[in-house]
Amino acid sequence: MSDDLIHNPKGGMPRLLEIMRRLRDPETGCPWDIEQDFASIAPYTIEEAYEVADAIEREAWSELKGELGDLLFQSVFHAQMASEKGLFSFDEVADTMSDKMVARHPHVFGDESNAKTPEQQTADWEAIKAQERAAKAEKGVLDGVAMGLPALLRAVKLQKRAARVGFDWPSTDQVIDKIVEEAQELREATEPDHIEEEFGDLLFVMANLARHMKIDPEAALRATNAKFTRRFGAVEAALAKKGRRPEDSTLEEMDALWDAEKRREKEKNA
């Protein structure tokens, strides 16, 4: 029956779970899959999440289905390893998520009115999450902010937590003043360890500025990365028309080509 399911193109979730079970079979499975553990698979899970975000960023809707499938497979992989250790099953993962969503949306699944503003709902959501953290015996304000998050995202989450108890600058101007202060401290640092520390401080305050300005710093940096890639590609194309490559050019020439592409983009978007 398992072979019939595996080769059933309409097998859905049961088919995927059976494929994962077979891949991990200690006698007949795939040697690579068998030797993996939670720690070795975690980087792939993070990578797949970023590939989902990348497809959305590029509006590559034809790719999104596959990327979501890759991300789902990561959850299935972790759940299979957990099942083998007697920790929990994939169904328990799904049930836990369902229970959480029902509990966090009493205005949809309970007796509360759903006539709330997004701001009220956000406040209620945070209150419910605080109760959940208390139930887990997380006593510190910053307890439970995952260590494995990308550093920039974790910085924002740490700052949000601290802001809930009043540890926050009241205005954006004060954050910008702090950025100036941290930049000066970085300029004055001389020892490698001190330079790295001051650079980290500056990045942390920049993340705080993004939070104050209601900007997603990860999204902003992804957009800038895309812009840099696009403009540098234009520089390479302009040089190629002259039969040259960037390494054959000068910084001054490339800067001029960069500025020309920048002006072209502004005129196009005007």
User: Is there a common fold for 2-103 and 140-215?
Assistant: yes
Digit-coded pLDDT (tens) for 1-53: 568 999 999 999 999 999 999 999 999 999 999 999 999 999 899 899 989 98
186 contacts 198 by C-beta, under 8 angstroms: yes
Q: How far apart are CA 192 and CA 198, in angstroms?
A: 10
Three-class SS of residue 26? coil
Which superfamily does CATH assign the domain made up of 140-215 to? MazG-like (1.10.287.1080)
29 contacts 23 by C-beta, under 8 angstroms: yes
CA dihedral 150, 152, 154, 160 (to 10 degrees): -160
Strand extents, DSSP E, the chain: none
For the cut 60, the answer to whether the pLDDT of residue 251 exceeds it is yes
When pLDDT is cut at 50, 70 and 90, the band that residue 141 belongs to is confident
Residue 257: both structure tokens together? 């080509």
Phi/psi at 218 (5° precision) = -65, -45
Which superfamily does CATH assign the domain made up of 2-103 to? MazG-like (1.10.287.1080)
Domain residue spans of the chain: 2-103, 113-139, 140-215, 218-269
% of residues, the chain, pLDDT over 70: 97
Q: How far apart are CA 49 and CA 68, in angstroms?
A: 8
